């Protein structure tokens, strides 16, 4: 029998009105019941009860089943959600164009700065690491008391190697010499020429482009050139086997071509000549002396030698013992300096030029981080200040089921989008700024995006920036209570004001510290440049004697003396800026203990005092009127003090310097002949019997003519050599190149830090002005003046700047005091530096804020109050 059917109309009603999610079961149940009733009570009764029961499961009587289990929260990394995040982020970015631009500008400039600095730091740290054996290479350095030098005697390399099994091989390199090279018509004076032992290329990894590494430096009459130099002399021709003439007297064949010296090598050279060539006439090499410190010695230690500080100390002690055992009475300590530490950690005299300074690397690294922080703070500040705009979104997301973590991820993701966008722009900025930066740092820097490490660190910077700058806004925004936010009565601005103010203060503390730093660096540089050195450094033109000039000294003197432009001249052995010789061998009357201070010496002629305009404290200078001056000495004040004499009794005393006895005939006032990082050292002046450098005191304004005249004389007497000249004050300025660079870089980054801070400040003030639009309207209606309103809006920011100045002053003072401690002669850190930096910061901040505050103050109150 087929089951009875319930009335169709009731069923239609049921289907139409009953909640869909329970319809199936209810319909089935009612069918079953209908059948049951039909059997028990008949059709009429069944239809009646069926209709009644259908009504009982229709609204409003029926209870709806909650769809609890079937409805999961969407996974927050669901592709739909992700695309939604991107969409929302993009819309927000577009809707608030000005703020997005501010944010991205700040972040990208900050990142560009950091990238530039990181490139520089990376370059500094990469010095000499390209050598295959970099970890095993050490340089032998020495120190006698406070005098530390990078040089060592010629005989020690072989001597130590034969007695110390730890040393695998040793290489000696000469100080760079200047030579004239000649190929056919081409003739250049080359400054980067070194002599090196034959295993030079096996110990160091300077790649040889052409030639045989094993034999390249074996033939004393063959030399190596770098690619660039080869091109200079031979163009595109193959240079191997060609002849090159040195110093107009000696012919070499070219045995090989080296790759150009990497810019991150402390050894810089264009020519390498075998040491065996120099050994033909160099006395140090002939006698394998242990006494004269004239060469750079490098050791390659065995792989299993302990090269920790302890291990190296033990080696140094062993070297010292061997040195004593060799019969030397000099009190000299030796050290093994790791090759990779030479560039950044060396503070030695008589060293190769162009060293860096670890302190600067650290300082700039910190500066890079600071600037990035300033940029991040911008982002945080603007994001939180404007959080009200996003509050509704947060509320709505929470209502439809977003959890807090989901929101945090969303906002962090948004800031990551910003930071990666900024990274792209930053890379473009870096490309544009790189030439300028290279000029400032005088370094070859390149940004190679294909370099995995660099790319990784760039992405790292972007992620770090994104996470840091997004962290606070994300935590802050995701914490909104949906009910409060959606009611629209929430005042977000006040809640985090303290935090935001803290951020602004931090930004300006950084900016002001950088400003003060710049000011102090420049002040110190100025101080050094304008300091009275003890002689008049301006208008001193010099010509180094070369070639035939040595033999034609008398003719030279006559020629110089005949001309009014050049008659005020002096011939000295070395430029005062380049004194690299010295000895501890000094004895005097009444000496108590052996002298242990290295005393440099300078050979000067009779005109020295007059030409250099130094002052005589006692006695006289060298003079033609007195015979026998060749055995006399002029000393400086410091040397006089060391020997325990005074201006009254020094003259006439006899001393023995460098094993020759003589009498002191005069004392000159101290003059600085080295970088002002060092205090004045003792100096012994001897009568110049051979030559060296011609120094001419030019008359002010006649520089060009004097150079012309000097050139004429040089060409006449020394036609084989090109005429090269220099000015002493320029050389002196060059001694402070790294300080000058630091000043320039500091200046650049201080400016950028302020600029970034101001971007943020501009955004904040715009936001404030907008928020207080109504308030300003009411104030104006009640009679406030424009200036009053501007003052009202500005004073809040001004307060923050003042706090920043107060915080920054002691920090900057401390930091700069530490920096100055490196100089023997320091400028003072005056109070006006702080005031000036503070004033500049405050002025710039006020100007920034005033854009917005003046606009707000000028606004017609009718407009701003219209809305309500």
Partner 1 sequence: MRRTYLGEFEELVLLMIAILDGQAYGVTVSQEIEQHTGRLVTFGAVHNTLIRLEEKGFVKSELGGATTERGGRRKRLFKVTALGSTALRDIQQLRNKLWQMMPESALKVSGI
> Under the rule (CB under 8 A), what is the footprint of partner 1?
22, 24-33, 36, 52-53, 55-58, 61-66
Comparison of 26 and 525: residue with beta carbon closer to partner 1 = 26
Nearer to partner 1, 61 or 71 (CB): 61
Least gap, CB of 6 to partner 1 (angstroms): 11
Q: Which is nearer to partner 1, 26 or 421 (CB)?
A: 26
What are the percentages of helix, strand and coil residues in the chain, rounded to 5?
A: 55, 15, 30
706: left (phi over 0), alpha (psi -120 to 50) or beta: alpha
CA distances from 673 to 174, 530, 579 (A): 24, 15, 8
Q: Which is nearer to partner 1, 49 or 345 (CB)?
A: 49
d(CA 716, CA 699): 23
To partner 1, the closest distance from the beta carbon of 73 in angstroms equals 20
Closest CB to partner 1 among residues 46, 503: 46
Pairwise CA distance, residues 35 & 6, whole Å: 8
Distance of closest approach, residue 45 Cβ to partner 1, in angstroms: 12
State in Å, rounded, how far the first CA of the chain is from the last one: 77
Smallest separation (angstroms) from partner 1 to the CB of 27: 6
Question: How far is 834 from 807, CA to CA, in rounded Å?
Answer: 11
Peptide linkage before 60 cis (omega within 30 of 0): yes
Smaller CB distance to partner 1: residue 56 or 532? 56
Q: How far is the CB of 781 from partner 1 (least distance, A)?
A: 57
Sign of CA dihedral 189, 192, 197, 201: negative
3-state helix/strand/coil string of 794-836: HHHHHHHHHHHHHHHHHHHHHHHHHHHCCCCCCCCCCHHHHHH
CB of 399 to partner 1, least distance (A): 22
- Least distance in Å: CB of 47 to partner 1? 15
Q: Which is nearer to partner 1, 12 or 646 (CB)?
A: 12
User: Is residue 217 classed exposed, middle or buried when 0-12, 13-18 and 19+ CB atoms within 10 A define those classes?
Assistant: buried
What minimum distance in Å lies between the beta carbon of 97 and partner 1? Answer: 50
SS3 call for 498: helix
Closer by beta carbon to partner 1, 3 or else 424? 3
| Of 21 and 591, CB closest to partner 1 | 21
| Shortest separation between residue 44's beta carbon and partner 1, angstroms | 16
Q: Crossing angle for the helix pair 156-163 and 309-325, nearest 10 degrees?
A: 110
Supply the minimum distance, in Å, between the C-beta of residue 13 and partner 1: 13
Residue of 548, 401, 539 whose CA lies nearest to 73: 401
| Alpha carbons 372 and 419: distance in angstroms, whole number | 11
Report whether 619 contacts 667 (CB < 8 A): yes
To partner 1, the closest distance from the beta carbon of 32 in angstroms equals: 5
Q: Which is nearer to partner 1, 65 or 737 (CB)?
A: 65
Which residue's CB is nearer to partner 1, number 31 or number 587?
31
Residue 722: Cβ within 10 Å count: 15
Residue whose pair of structure tokens reads 């009611």 in the numeric block: 487
Q: How far is the CB of 1 from partner 1 (least distance, A)?
A: 14
CB 546 within 8 A of CB 723: no
Q: Which is nearer to partner 1, 14 or 462 (CB)?
A: 14
Closest approach, Cβ 12 to partner 1, in A, equals: 15
Q: How far is CA 564 from CA 477, 558, 609, 709, in A?
A: 82, 12, 19, 10
Residue closer to partner 1, measured from CB, 55 or 836: 55
Complete DSSP assignment for 53-118 = HHHHTSTTTSPPPP--TT-PPPPTT-HHHHHHHHHHHHHHHHHTHHHHHHHHHHHHHHHHHHHHHH
Give per-residue burial for 243-261: e unless 16+ CB within 10 Å, then b. ebbbbbeeebebbbbbebb
**Cα–Cα nearest to 640, from 589, 604, 606, 605:** 589
Distance of closest approach, residue 766 Cβ to partner 1, in angstroms: 52
- Give the angle subtended at the CA of 630 by the CAs of 629 and 631, to the nearest 5°: 90
Strands 599-604 and 684-687: parallel
Considering beta carbons, is residue 37 or 633 the nearer one to partner 1? Answer: 37
Residue for token pair 């039909």? 38
* Nearest approach, Cβ of residue 40 and partner 1 (Å): 10
Question: SS3 of 624, please?
Answer: coil
Separation between Cα atoms, residue 611 and residue 385, nearest integer Å: 68
Angstrom distances, CA of residue 845 to CA of 58, 101, 470, 812, 859: 70, 19, 25, 20, 22
Which CB, 41 or 449, lies closer to partner 1? 41
- CB nearer partner 1, residue 59 or residue 488: 59
Cα–Cα distance measured from residue 378 to residue 101, given in angstroms and rounded to the nearest whole number: 12
Cβ at position 500, least distance to partner 1 in Å:
44
Question: Using an 8 Å Cβ cutoff, are 603 and 719 in contact?
Answer: no
């Amino acid at each position: 029998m087929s089951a009875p059917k319930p009335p169709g109309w009731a069923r239609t009603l049921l289907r139409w009105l009953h909640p869909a999610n329970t319809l199936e079961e209810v319909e089935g149940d009612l069918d079953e019941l209908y059948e049951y009733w039909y059997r028990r009570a008949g059709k009429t009764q069944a239809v009646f009860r069926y209709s009644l029961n259908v009504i009982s499961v229709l609204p409003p009587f029926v209870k709806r089943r909650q769809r609890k289990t079937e409805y999961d929260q969407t996974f927050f990394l669901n592709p739909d959600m992700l695309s939604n995040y991107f969409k929302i982020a993009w819309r927000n970015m577009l809707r608030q164009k000005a703020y997005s631009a501010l944010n991205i500008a700040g972040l990208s400039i900050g990142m560009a700065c950091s990238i530039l600095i990181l490139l520089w730091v990376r370059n500094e740290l990469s010095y000499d690491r390209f050598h295959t054996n970099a970890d095993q290479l050490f340089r032998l350095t020495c120190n006698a008391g406070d005098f530390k030098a990078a040089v060592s005697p010629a005989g020690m390399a072989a001597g130590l190697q034969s007695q110390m099994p730890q040393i695998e091989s040793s290489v000696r390199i000469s100080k760079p010499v200047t030579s004239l090279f000649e190929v056919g018509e081409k003739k250049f004076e080359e400054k980067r020429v070194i002599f090196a032992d034959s295993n030079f290329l096996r110990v160091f990894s300077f790649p040889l482009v052409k030639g045989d590494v094993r034999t390249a430096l074996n033939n004393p009459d063959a030399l190596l050139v770098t690619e660039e130099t080869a091109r200079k002399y031979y163009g595109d021709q193959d240079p191997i086997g060609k002849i090159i003439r040195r110093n107009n007297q000696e012919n070499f064949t070219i045995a090989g071509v080296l790759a150009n010296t990497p810019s991150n090598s402390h050894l810089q050279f264009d020519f390498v000549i075998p040491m065996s060539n120099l050994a033909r006439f160099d006395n140090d090499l002939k006698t394998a002396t242990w006494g004269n410190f004239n060469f750079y010695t490098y050791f390659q230690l065995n792989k299993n030698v302990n090269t920790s500080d302890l291990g190296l100390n033990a080696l140094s002690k062993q070297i010292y013992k061997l040195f004593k055992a060799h019969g030397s009475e000099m009190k000299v300590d030796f050290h093994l300096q790791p090759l990779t530490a030479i560039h950044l950690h060396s503070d030695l005299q008589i060293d190769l030029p162009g060293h860096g300074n670890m302190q600067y690397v650290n300082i700039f690294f910190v500066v890079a981080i600071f600037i990035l922080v300033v940029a991040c703070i911008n982002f945080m500040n603007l994001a939180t200040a404007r959080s009200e705009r996003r509050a509704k979104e947060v509320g709505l997301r929470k209502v439809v089921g977003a959890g807090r973590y989901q929101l945090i991820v969303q906002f962090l993701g948004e800031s990551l989008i910003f930071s990666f966008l900024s990274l792209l722009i930053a890379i473009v900025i870096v490309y544009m700024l790189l030439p300028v930066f290279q000029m400032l740092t005088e370094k070859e820097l390149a940004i190679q995006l294909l370099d995995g490490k660099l790319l990784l660190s760039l992405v790292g910077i972007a992620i770090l920036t994104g996470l840091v700058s997004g962290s606070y806004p994300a935590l802050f925004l995701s914490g909104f209570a949906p009910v409060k936010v959606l009611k629209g009565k929430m005042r977000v601005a006040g809640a985090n004001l303290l935090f935001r103010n803290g951020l602004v203060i931090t930004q300006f503390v950084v900016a002001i510290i950088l400003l003060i730093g710049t000011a102090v660096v420049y002040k110190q540089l100025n101080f050094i440049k304008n300091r009275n050195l003890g002689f008049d450094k301006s208008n001193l033109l010099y010509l180094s004697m070369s070639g035939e000039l040595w033999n034609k000294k008398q003719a030279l003197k006559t020629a110089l003396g005949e001309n009014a432009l050049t008659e005020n001249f002096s011939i000295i052995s070395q430029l005062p800026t380049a004194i690299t010789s010295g000895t501890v061998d000094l004895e005097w009357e009444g000496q108590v203990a052996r002298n242990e201070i290295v005393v440099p010496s300078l050979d000067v002629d009779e005109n020295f005092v007059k030409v250099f305009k130094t002052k005589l404290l006692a006695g006289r200078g060298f003079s033609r009127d007195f015979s026998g001056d060749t055995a006399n000495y002029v000393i400086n004040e410091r040397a006089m003090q060391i020997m325990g004499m005074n201006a009254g009794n020094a003259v006439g005393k006899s001393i023995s310097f460098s094993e020759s006895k003589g009498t002191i005939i005069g004392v000159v006032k101290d003059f600085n002949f080295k970088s002002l990082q060092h205090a004045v050292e003792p100096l012994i002046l001897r009568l110049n019997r051979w030559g060296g450098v011609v120094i001419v005191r030019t008359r002010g304004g006649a520089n060009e003519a004097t150079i012309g005249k000097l050139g004429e004389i040089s060409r006449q007497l020394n036609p084989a050599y090109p005429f090269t000249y220099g000015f002493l004050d320029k050389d002196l300025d060059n001694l402070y190149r790294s300080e000058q660079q630091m000043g320039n870089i500091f200046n650049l980054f201080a400016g950028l830090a302020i600029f970034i801070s101001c971007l943020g400040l501009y955004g904040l003030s715009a936001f404030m002005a907008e928020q207080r639009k109504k308030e300003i309207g009411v104030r104006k209606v009640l009679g406030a003046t424009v200036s009053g309103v501007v003052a009202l809006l500005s004073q809040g920011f001004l307060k923050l700047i003042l706090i920043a100045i107060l915080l920054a002053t002691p920090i900057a003072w401390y930091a700069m005091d530490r920096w100055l401690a490196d100089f023997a002669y320091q400028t003072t850190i005056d109070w006006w530096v702080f005031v000036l930096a503070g004033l500049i910061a405050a002025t710039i901040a006020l100007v920034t804020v005033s854009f917005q505050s003046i606009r707000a103050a000028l606004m017609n109150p009718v407009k701003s109050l219209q809305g309500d």
